[in-house]
Structure 1
């Protein structure tokens, strides 16, 4: 059955995309091994990515026992073990407004060297050493922890610079959320540390883990769980129902699709949500009746979050293949890479009636696609010119944009411990997906301010290759997000108005109007000229204060 379905997808004509005139084109590069299964990743500096795994029998060692955290050096392509106290298995994370990264939640460990991570908070302070020397992950489980134990929760930086922590499960369950945490809390705590109930989570049991959530430019929060969507006003503590995702497609764990907030453009910063993949399998079926061979959904659903857009509802388009557990990565030019995942089955492991080894999913999606938001409906998704990998990235895979402008891809392990002799083993190999601009002369930014205020004009020096058309430029302000379980928490792209000087050497840029359009905290600025993007320049957006911070800038 799956073979016929996939052949039908292969017969779909591919949307044409302009081939690069120079350089190598899109290409994968395999380089190095992590020593842990990188099931969570976040870029913490120009040269370092922070990776987390479960506490298990990993080959990377620290202090005489397996490591479950690592610093990945983007320059040397090597992993250094990180001393982690609590088990970060299936955790989440985000930056605060002062630049501190917080890893959130986890699980009960399988090895004695780790402590219970279910209400864990792990603190990574900004660290300037390019190799991570002297950088530490601070934990104090006795005094620094959440109000609730949470596994498979979502985190999101909001407009006051704090982190909203949404949902999860208290204990390990075989497949569905059978011990739910149907509430949200904040870090630093609000409401006296008492979690707030969330009706959305109650309604969407049992498949509502890692709810897909985004901070909107008015400060409210879009959330999707199972096949339902809402706008949550956390200042008023109210939920507004939105249209359900069409065709009963469900997109939260263990029925994972993915979602992104499309790039925000001045002057109006109108928000649009894109949701792709998942499954239309009923979430009421017992896992023992599910099959690893059931095709995933190829559906993408897009909605504009204005009164008129909500009234129109979801606009449907189709990916080139079905995908369970895909990720979508915002690129500096505003396009989106759809990558990773499987074409059949489900998330989690060793639960369905016919697992492949331990995997509940099968038929990996080896070829990425590009989604172009401003193309006409039916012409937005293409894999023309895209390379194909031979490494399956299924359950527990991660991918993130880096400061260089390429994609760091790691992880994959639908196994309870490290397993090598199976079709979908514990994967330690690292790949990069390089866009065409990685092999040509690129624009460069210099003398970039370390900190930018909201609603302000600032200047940077630029060097633009003479072959590029200087009039065709975009300046993107980006949060690269935290990758975990087919979702990129806090990922964001805000385009900024910019004017190039007559001599082509200085760029005058207008920052976002306020802290709701871009929640205050770290960001990267990228310049794209034509189809060629610069490396990113790291900045702090806002006053850099510890949350909660006051509103900054001006209303839109």
Structure 2
């Protein structure tokens, strides 16, 4: 198996039109939630089948905890309600991921601390820990921080991070200070959490990619190496030998990282070879986000048609926003369609909520997309154009309105390179011979600043039993194809996707650490 990179009218005395079938009538829909996020959700990560963690900075958000404004929150996907998390450090523009044991680690942040109630500690070396939460509602679940003993080796604001083949976190780049536009005081190095060494690894790639290398776009490849893009530079980094292979510059002088803020995504991994080609979007976008759809498509959403990331740093900001002309209609990218026909917004709804700087989106275990945030302002500001946004939406695919397949149960832990059989329920209308079957193993990623770090979709070879009662699939051969840790498995039949099953790929043990 080669796992490699990368969808006559009868005439009578009068004309009679048949009513559309349920599948034909089903459409993509935006769904505005009754509850707000309580804080500006500028970072989001799914941490359990029912919970999403949001982070903001300390900016007088309305959600309260311990008699002060919160800047961390838990969103309940079942009830569409929010609960505050008590955060000690300044989590503004941090990164994060889930580790091999299910722990969420949020790393880095704003170097500025503030006195007051509460005293806000600097976040540039912060490590924030959210342990696997047994409560579906999040009751009793808290964030752990101890800045004196648990911290990064270097100051990192605007870093990127991904889970790698041993289940640990690779942390890349960042800055030391508040920059006006470009990265003028960079941290051009890599480190790991848990740490593998007592010092950071200097990076020539990050040096070359100055001055625009904040939030570099990084991806764990199927051989365990890491593809990185910053500014117009790209490399493949070998973690095990600590070597960089320089790749050609991005053509046409295109630059992708903050503050220019193009997005990037790793296309689905599957046994057949995939040959990448260049496609053009329907409109220009700055600060878009790309999110996997369980059927192998990619959702393109959020962003604006003009401008830059960041706040009040161009000669003619709109309010405080460096960007303008928000794109209100999402598109879908379908990798296996003919070139020139892969991106479409046909049948896609439009929202009226701008999602520019400091907005997020994530696929949920329910199979829809949770969209929140937008705040190109220096604090909570509700009076300017592109004001601080607390409204939360989901973008619901058509299958949410249909009878869906269901994975009835799933082992808590699943081994690599194994054949797994689980019970399923398949609606009658999806039992036709030759129905298209897809089983997606997914990391739902960490959304921040137009990049979905660690996001991953691996298609597994699968069959359904003749009686349609069981599903058998073959897991990836090792943790280089899918880094060990939490995953969501979706069953899709003829583009109708099941609710996701939350599993632990691998042993569920903590990642290795420096002895």
TM-score between the two structures when normalised by the length of structure 2: 0.93
Instruction: Name the SS of the counterpart of 1:161 in structure 2.
Output: coil
- 1:542 equivalent in structure 2: 506
User: Match for 1:368 among 321, 330, 347?
Assistant: 330
Question: 1:22–1:440: 8 Å Cα contact kept in structure 2?
Answer: no
> Structure 1 residue 517: deviation in Å?
0.3
- 2:99 equivalent in structure 1: 96
CA offsets, 1:523-543, max 9 Å, x none? 000000001000000000011
Question: 2:22–2:402: 8 Å Cα contact kept in structure 1?
Answer: no
User: Match for 1:380 among 342, 354, 361?
Assistant: 342
User: Match for 1:454 among 375, 393, 416?
Assistant: 416
User: Match for 1:37 among 37, 40, 63?
Assistant: 40
CA offsets, 1:424-455, max 9 Å, x none? 00000001000000111100001211110000
Instruction: Name the SS of the counterpart of 1:258 in structure 2.
Output: coil
User: Match for 1:218 among 195, 217, 223?
Assistant: 223
- 1:186 equivalent in structure 2: 192
Question: 1:104–1:119: 8 Å Cα contact kept in structure 2?
Answer: yes
- 1:195 equivalent in structure 2: 200
State the number of aligned residues: 488
User: Match for 1:74 among 73, 77, 85?
Assistant: 77
Distance in 2, Cα, partners of 1:22 & 1:118: 50
Q: Please show how residues 260-409 of structure 1 align to structure 2 within 5 Å.
A: 260-266=265-271, 304=276, 315-409=277-371
- 1:138 equivalent in structure 2: 144
Q: Please show how residues 25-174 of structure 1 align to structure 2 within 5 Å.
A: 25-31=27-33, 32-107=35-110, 108-110=112-114, 112=116, 113=118, 114-174=120-180
Instruction: Name the SS of the counterpart of 1:438 in structure 2.
Output: helix
> Structure 1 residue 58: deviation in Å?
0.8
Instruction: Name the SS of the counterpart of 2:423 in structure 1.
Output: strand
CA offsets, 1:180-214, max 9 Å, x none? 000010001112x2100111110011111000000
> Structure 1 residue 20: deviation in Å?
7.9
Question: 1:54–1:109: 8 Å Cα contact kept in structure 2?
Answer: no
Distance in 2, Cα, partners of 1:190 & 1:449: 31
User: Match for 1:255 among 254, 257, 260?
Assistant: 260
> Structure 1 residue 23: deviation in Å?
4.6
> Structure 1 residue 372: deviation in Å?
0.2
CA offsets, 1:139-177, max 9 Å, x none? 000000000010000011000111000000011111110
Distance in 2, Cα, partners of 1:159 & 1:434: 32
Question: 1:69–1:83: 8 Å Cα contact kept in structure 2?
Answer: yes
> Structure 1 residue 111: deviation in Å?
5.9
> Structure 1 residue 24: deviation in Å?
3.2
- 2:487 equivalent in structure 1: 523
Q: Does 110-119 or 217-226 show the bigger shift?
A: 110-119
1:175 matched to 2:181? The reply is yes
Instruction: Name the SS of the counterpart of 1:449 in structure 2.
Output: coil
CA offsets, 1:205-242, max 9 Å, x none? 11110000000000000000001111001111111111
> Structure 1 residue 316: deviation in Å?
2.6
Distance in 2, Cα, partners of 1:372 & 1:472: 16
CA offsets, 1:115-148, max 9 Å, x none? 1111000011101101101111110000000000
Question: 2:128–2:145: 8 Å Cα contact kept in structure 1?
Answer: yes
Distance in 2, Cα, partners of 1:481 & 1:426: 24
Distance in 2, Cα, partners of 1:316 & 1:465: 38
Question: 1:20–1:436: 8 Å Cα contact kept in structure 2?
Answer: no
> Structure 1 residue 110: deviation in Å?
4.9
Distance in 1, Cα, partners of 2:187 & 2:150: 19
Distance in 1, Cα, partners of 2:114 & 2:377: 13
Instruction: Name the SS of the counterpart of 2:265 in structure 1.
Output: strand
Instruction: Name the SS of the counterpart of 1:200 in structure 2.
Output: helix
Name stretches of at least 5 consecutive residues in structure 2 with no aligned partner. 1-20
Name stretches of at least 5 consecutive residues in structure 1 with no aligned partner. 1-18, 273-302, 305-314, 550-556
RMSD in angstroms over aligned alpha carbons?
Answer: 1.5
Question: 1:23–1:437: 8 Å Cα contact kept in structure 2?
Answer: no
Distance in 2, Cα, partners of 1:378 & 1:111: 55
Distance in 1, Cα, partners of 2:336 & 2:199: 43
CA offsets, 1:315-334, max 9 Å, x none? 43210010000000001000
Question: 1:175–1:254: 8 Å Cα contact kept in structure 2?
Answer: yes
User: Match for 1:514 among 478, 482, 495?
Assistant: 478
> Structure 1 residue 56: deviation in Å?
1.3
> Structure 1 residue 21: deviation in Å?
3.1
> Structure 1 residue 22: deviation in Å?
3.8
Q: Please show how residues 377-526 of structure 1 align to structure 2 within 5 Å.
A: 377-468=339-430, 469=432, 471-526=435-490
- 1:228 equivalent in structure 2: 233
